[in-house]
Amino acid sequence: MSKYLVNLKVNNIPVTVEEGTTILDAARKLNFHIPTLCYHEDLTVAGNCRVCLVEVAGSRSLAASCATPVSEGMEVLTNSKNVRSARKNVVELLLSEHNADCTKCFKNGHCELQTLSSEYQIGQHLFIDLVKTKDKIVDISSPSIAKDDSKCIRCQRCVRTCSELQAVGALAVINKGDHQRISTFLNKPLSEVVCTNCGQCINRCPTGALTERSYIEEVWDAINDPSKHVVVETAPAVRVALGEDLGFEAGERVTGKMVAALRHLGFDSILDTDFTADLTILEEGTELLTRLKKALVDKDEKVSLPMFTSCSPGWIKFIEHMFPEYLPNLSTCKSPQQMFGALAKTYYAQKKNINPKNMVCVSIMPCTAKKFEAGRPELRDSGYQDVDYVLTTRELAMMIKQAGIDFMKLEDMEYDSIMGESTGAAVIFGASGGVMEAALRTAYEIISGRDVPFTNLNIVPVRGMEGVKEAKVMLKDVKPEWGFLEGVEVSIAIAHGLANAKKVVESIKNGTANYHFVEIMGCPGGCIGGGGQPIPTSPEIRQKRADAIYAEDEGLPLRKSHENPEVQYLYKEFLGEPLGHRSHDLLHTHYKPRKRY
Amino acid sequence: METKVIKKVDTIFDVVECNYIQVLEKTLAKTADEIILDIIDSGLKGRGGAGFPTGLKWKFTKNEENAVKYVICNADEGEPGTFKDREILDRVPEKVFTGMAICGYAIGAKEGYIYLRGEYNFLKQDLQMKIDLFNSQLADRDFDFKVFLRSGSGAYICGEESALFDSMEGLRGEPRNKPPYPTVAGYNLKPTAINNVETLVYVTMICRMGPESFKALGTKDSRGSKVFSVSGDTPTPGIYELELGMPLNQFVDEFGDGDTKAVQVGGASGHCVPRKKYNDTIIGFEGIPTGGSMMIFNSTRSMYNVLHDYLEFFTEESCGQCTPCRVGCQQLLKGIEAVKKGDKKPSYLEDLKKLAATMKIASKCGLGQSVSNPFNSIVDNFREEIIY
Ligand SMILES: Cc1cc2nc3c(=O)[nH]c(=O)nc-3n(C[C@H](O)[C@H](O)[C@H](O)COP(=O)(O)O)c2cc1C
Ligand code: SF4
Ligand code: SF4
Ligand code: SF4
Ligand code: SF4
Ligand code: FES
């Protein structure tokens, strides 16, 4: 249906937009900047902060431009005397209940409130300081998320994120009036509620009220301790986003510079989580084929299909809380981060002659849920905590700044061996659909002896930002040993963001969908949109990061996980075969149900 | 300006004259458009505070194309000093149900909900019995409309129409952005006509007497009569139905104790009128409108305390979502305390008045927008009492 066009004037300049457009968007079309705080592109409109006020001719009150649709003949002023003075009052009010200790704040320099108050030159406080009158409520119960109420401006972006994008609903508005604040079910600490640690709320919090729990100091200490061998691993999605915090535009690939920076920071071994992403494909692919064989040949009714991917720790905690009956459907593979940790402290230590007791494994992740994952009691199969510290992309950027490294001018460097080699299939783990694509490239070839039937190995139907993607792959002319798959149409689905994950699980539950294999990533867009990635985030930024991921893949000489020579060597020297004994001990695990409250 | 001599009226609570079934049958014989025209013609404006013309509201709701629409009777009555809706629901509930049924017929709704203030739960049992009887009487006449009763959540803000819808939908009651207005997207996002209890009774009365008799009372801008809740320093507190458009001096003569220094017209969110302005203050939409609350203060009262009480009320009852209201209320309250204590100079009151002005134009809903009414009227007229 085509939409009506509406003519209006913003600051006396005529503009024509579709009906239903907000004043904010109409003004942006003319490049007039209107400040916002509660508005976020990824979320529904709240209209509660009131900094986006504009004057509409003929109206006694000001309009919240983010929440007001245009109408024919409207005349809008975005910077009138009334607007400026009301907006300034609003910012002054926000600051009067704000614990503005910017110098100690993780958000210093990236804070929307700070930017606004400097734009409005708010120095001397007009109003009475209300911070003192309130209890200082800081929640650091979670290993991933820190929540400081004294920095909260009650914009409710986090609440909307958690319910709209993630369908978790761990955060809620409680109380009214001067006692209104953002809290959790029954006011419990974040560690005791359904929070998945995904960090999506952090990515959308305009202030320092929600941040990651930072482990930068612990990592510096390890680096500075001569008795420790500090191994660092970097996740696929970090290399396409880190640049944003260090002066580059979104979408810049900085893999080589990142490796160089890590070397300057003083890490002893610089390795790649991509290596274990390739390994995951071999383990998980074999697991899938085994399950299919049990179901199709052995007619084993107890085999759980569809099989769900298990690399996203936000998703793992979500399914533990919300759909524990589907835990058997999870692949038993650990996430690449945890496979890496388990191998670092066994295989790598052995090969490099390092006492694993003296090894510290640090991982650089686009994710805050990985911090929680690293501490899981299930994940200590090396005999130690497999991964010691998890830093987000943002924390790594901060360390690079602290070290005074001129990141933009660094010469590219290469990862160390023997867990630093990777293929394009591993890189695309960072984008929604990537695990599926990597798995198909390998599984199809194992079964048929041929490349996947897509131009240049690019399985386009599983890519893109649609919330739930579905596809079918017909298996024909398979190798004799895979005869039971001849003519089988494999049905797959991909979901990213937990609200979409919920949709998929529910459609499986109520029988409206039937899949063999489902990829689920907890964050919008996959890991490129992870809760530990540079802020801000938007559909456009996530798209640029995804484009960079696929460009990185296309540029690599090896693009199929089973061709990774270091992975082949690992099986030959250490693991034996996929799903073998050692794999079973080090690379696989099981999760347990959790209550909803 | 047209002014009236104070006149007590008895249409609302009169039970002898009004056989609601007859009114209903007579009204349902007309077309929906005829009824809406009658209500528009009568000049009836909403009695819940905002004073929006009732007939127009119905017309907008009728014009929406939607198979599902709702009628809602706002019985949240949270404004301090107002207790008229309770009295109406206790004494003449059938007139309210009848108004709802007429509204349902006019706009094309099959369900009507009474959102009853939590504190009025003691009325519930009796009301439910009467509703059941009323619903069966409608069913007997093959009229497809049903009245339901819902208990409020206990927060003042849930009387604001869009917060009320949220609350009925099981959400936290927080005012929504407008547009869309309730007539387009109200309860369950369906077109909804929401009316105050008293407004619905007047609908019944207009349908019984005809718009002409209704129009015979009141002024051009304020047709008819209205129910007032009179409280404070008065020998005769209570509920009175009075003609609209009366001057305040006559009201004070009638209800004051001889020493009235100020009248708060319209409850906490209304205006404070000092003695010197009684003569030129009209009670009605052309002067000072009121949802019905009239609080009388004599010279023993401290207007600082009065304002302090109101600001405490708003600080607590603001839903807290929007900045100007949540923080603004706290600042106004702490601000007058600081001026009183001497921590801030008297000139700080000017900054606070500017803040109140910002709240009026920048707040999301009527609560934050109306705090400046009591604030400015009390600070302007009783400045000495605030400072010293
Ligand atoms: C904070 C606030 C509280 C309100 N409380 C009530 C109330 O208790 N009862 C009521 O009828 N209207 C109340 N209103 C007005 C309603 O939003 C709405 O305008 C009214 O119910 C419409 O009915 P009417 O047109 O018949 O007056 C309140 C408005 C605000 C802003
Ligand atoms: S949240 Fe922003 S304004 Fe507040 S202390 Fe942190 S940087 Fe400063
Ligand atoms: S981390 Fe994720 S699940 Fe937890 S509160 Fe934030 S958005 Fe919700
Ligand atoms: S925690 Fe952050 S996102 Fe949530 S309401 Fe507070 S300021 Fe907004
Ligand atoms: S004005 Fe007050 S009551 Fe209304 S939405 Fe804003 S905070 Fe809530
Ligand atoms: S950005 Fe529009 S009200 Fe907050």
Number of the ligand 2 atom closest to the C-alpha atom of A109: 7
The pLDDT tens digits of the residues spanning B23-35 come to: 999 999 999 999 9
Is-catalytic flag, A152? no
Q: Closest Cα to residue A315, out of A367, A274, A362, A385? A: A367
Q: Which chain B residues touch A if contact means CB-CB below 8 Å?
A: 155, 157, 172, 174, 177, 179, 314-324, 326-331, 334-335, 338, 344, 351, 354-355, 358, 360-364, 369
Q: What is the pLDDT of residue B81?
A: 86
Nearest CA in chain A to B317: A177
Phi/psi-derived region of residue A142, left when phi > 0, alpha when psi is between -120 and 50, beta in every other case: beta
d(CA B373, CA B359): 11
Q: What is the pLDDT of residues A302-351, one digit of tens each?
A: 999 999 999 999 999 999 999 999 999 999 999 999 999 999 999 999 99
Ligand 2 binding pocket mutation candidate from A92, A99, A108 (most atoms within 8 A of CB)? A108
Of A283, A373, A395, A437, catalytic? A373
Q: Which residues of A touch B316 (CB under 8 A)?
A: 176-178
The residue annotated as part of the active site, out of A112, A284, A395, A552, is: A284
Active site residue A331: yes
What does the pLDDT read at residue A136?
83
Q: What is the pLDDT of residues A572-587, one digit of tens each?
A: 999 999 999 999 999 9
The pLDDT assigned to A121 comes to 81
CA distance A315 to A166: 10
Cα of B349 vs centre of ligand 5, distance in Å, is 23
Ligand 1 centroid, distance to B176 Cα (angstroms): 14
CB of A493 within 6 A of ligand 4: the answer is: no
- Structural contact between residues B157 and B139, judged by C-beta atoms closer than 8 angstroms: no
pLDDT of residue B7: 80
Q: How many helices (H) and strands (E) does chain B have?
A: 16, 11
Q: Are A259 and A414 in contact (CB under 8 A)?
A: yes
pLDDT at B14: 82
Confirm if B5 and B223 have CB atoms less than 8 A apart.
Answer: no
Structure tokens at B107: 């706009």
- Residue B17: its pLDDT value, please? 67
Nearest to A526 by CA among A437, A433, A396: A433
Contact A64 B364 (CB under 8 A): yes
Whole-angstrom Cα distance, residue A383 to residue A371? 19
- Contact of A157 with A40, CB cutoff 8 Å: yes
Minimum CA–CA partner of A46 in chain B = B177
Domains and CATH numbers, chain B: 20-215 (3.40.50.11540), 303-387 (1.20.1440.230)
**Is A18 tagged catalytic?**
no
| Ligand 1 atom closest to the CA of B200, numbered from 1 | 26
Tokens of A495: 């979901």
Q: How far apart are CA A311 and CA B6, in angstroms?
A: 78
Which domains does chain A possess? 5-92 (3.10.20.740), 97-126+134-212 (3.30.70.20), 216-275+337-409 (3.40.50.1780)
Which three-class secondary structure state does DSSP give residue B264?
A: strand
> What average pLDDT score do residues B278-305 get?
95
Spatial distance between the Cα atoms of B131 and B73, rounded to a whole number of angstroms:
13
Q: Measured between CA atoms, how close is A212 to chain B, in angstroms?
A: 25
With an 8 Å Cβ cutoff, are A128 and B335 in contact? yes
Sign of the CA dihedral running B206, B212, B216, B222:
positive
User: Residue A501 corresponds to which tokens in the numbers above?
Assistant: 């994950």
Best of A48, A71, A149 to mutate (most B CBs within 10 Å, chain B): A48
Question: Hey, what are B370's tokens?
Answer: 């109306």
CB contact under 8 A, A176 and B155: yes
Please name which ligand lies nearest the alpha carbon of A98.
Answer: 2
> How many other C-beta atoms can be found within 10 angstroms of the C-beta atom of residue A31?
7
Q: What is the pLDDT of residues A237-283, one digit of tens each?
A: 999 999 999 999 999 999 999 999 999 999 999 999 999 999 999 99
d(CA A489, CA A494): 16
Best of B174, B177, B313 to substitute, by most chain A Cβ atoms within 10 angstroms, is: B177
Chain B contact for A45 (CB, 8 A cutoff)? yes
pLDDT band at residue B200 under the 50/70/90 scheme: very high
Backbone angles phi, psi at A264, to 5 degrees: -60, -35
Q: Is the dihedral of CA A116, A114, A403, A429 positive or negative?
A: negative
Q: Per-residue b/e over A180-204, b at no fewer than 16 CB within 10 Å?
A: bbbbbbeeeebbebbbbbbbbbbbb
Report the C-alpha gap between B66 and B181 in whole angstroms: 15
pLDDT of A20 over the 70 cut:
yes
What one-character-per-residue DSSP string does B281-311 give?
-EESTTSB--SSEEEEEETTS-HHHHHHHHH
Mean pLDDT, rounded, of chain A: 96
**Contact predicate A588/A315, CB 8 Å:** no
Return the ∠ at Cα B49 (arms to B46 and B51), rounded to 5°. Answer: 40
Ligand 6 atom nearest to CA at A38 = 4
State the burial class of residue A488 (Cβ atoms within 10 Å of its Cβ: 0-12, 13-18, 19+): middle
| Atom number in ligand 4 closest to CA A151 | 7
pLDDT at B3 over 70: no
pLDDT at B357 over 70: yes
The beta-carbon neighbor of B361 closest among A46, A62, A93 is A62
Does position A1 have pLDDT exceeding 60, yes or no? no
Query: Does the annotation mark A378 as catalytic?
Result: yes
User: Residue A98: CB within 6 Å of ligand 4?
Assistant: no
What does the pLDDT look like over A530-553, one tens digit per residue? 999 999 999 999 999 999 999 999
Task: Confirm or reject contact between A499 and chain B (CB < 8 A).
Answer: no
> Angle at which helices B323-341 and A81-96 pack, to 10 degrees?
70
Inter-chain CB proximity B364 and A153 less than 8 Å: no
> What confidence tier does B9 reach under pLDDT thresholds 50, 70, 90?
confident
Residue whose CA is at the smallest distance from ligand 3 atom 2: A198
Asked if B296 and B234 touch (Cβ cutoff 8 Å), the reply is yes
Chain B: closest CA distance from residue A158 (Å): 14
Nearest CA in chain B to A153: B323
Active-site annotation holds for A158: no
Residue A122 pLDDT class (50, 70, 90 cuts): confident
Residues of chain A in contact with residue B369, where contact means CB-CB under 8 angstroms, are: 61
- Nearest C-alpha to atom 8 of ligand 3 is from which residue? A162
The ipTM assigned to this model is 0.94
B219-244: per-residue pLDDT in tens? 999 999 999 999 999 999 999 999 99
Side-chain half-sphere exposure of A110, counting CA atoms within 13 A: 23
pLDDT tens string B365-387: 999 999 999 999 999 999 999 99
Report which ligand 5 atom has the smallest distance to the Cα of B175. 5
Residues of chain B with pLDDT > 90, as a percent, come to 92
Q: In the 3-class helix/strand/coil scheme, how is A156-222 assigned residue by residue?
A: CHHHHHHHHHCCCCCEEEECCHHHCEEEEHHHCCHHHCCCCCCCHHHHHCCCCCEEECCCHHHHHHH
Mutant choice from B358, B359, B367, B371 vs A, greatest count of A C-beta within 10 A: B358
pLDDT one-digit tens code per residue, B111-137: 999 999 999 999 999 999 999 999 999
Residue-level pLDDT at B2: 58
The beta strands (E) that lie in A475-570 are given as: 489-496, 517-521
Going from the C-alpha of B287 to that of each of B191, B226, B244, the distances in angstroms are 32, 15, 10
Q: What is the pLDDT of residues B244-282, one digit of tens each?
A: 999 999 999 999 999 999 999 999 999 999 999 999 999
Ligand 3 neighbour A78 (Cβ under 6 A): no
Q: For residue A249, give both structure tokens.
A: 């535009």
Name the residue at shortest CA distance from atom 7 of ligand 4: A152
Q: What are phi and psi for residue B116, nearest 5 degrees?
A: -95, 130
In this structure, which ligand is nearest to the CA of A209? 4
Which tens digit of pLDDT belongs to each residue from A475-518?
Answer: 999 999 999 999 999 999 999 999 999 999 999 999 999 999 99
Cis peptide before A524 (omega within 30 of 0): no
Structure tokens given for A112: 């929307």
Task: Tell if the pTM clears 0.90, that is, is over it.
Answer: yes
- pLDDT tens-digit readout, A52-109: 999 999 999 999 999 999 999 999 999 999 999 999 999 999 999 999 999 999 999 9
Task: Find all residues with CB under 8 Å of B323, minimum gap 6, and list them.
Answer: A48, A49, A50, A51, A90, A93, A94, A153, A154
Residue A249 sits at φ, ψ, to 5 deg, of -75, 160
Considering chain B, what is the average pLDDT of its residues? Answer: 95
Q: Which residues contact A558 (CB under 8 A, 6 or more apart)?
A: A423, A424, A564
Q: SS3 for B239?
A: strand
Token couple for A444: 């199809």
Residue range A434-455: mean pLDDT, rounded: 95
Q: CB under 8 Å to B187, separation ≥6 — which residues? A: B70, B72, B113, B165, B168, B169
Q: Are B266 and B49 in contact (CB under 8 A)?
A: yes
- Nearest ligand, CA B368: 5
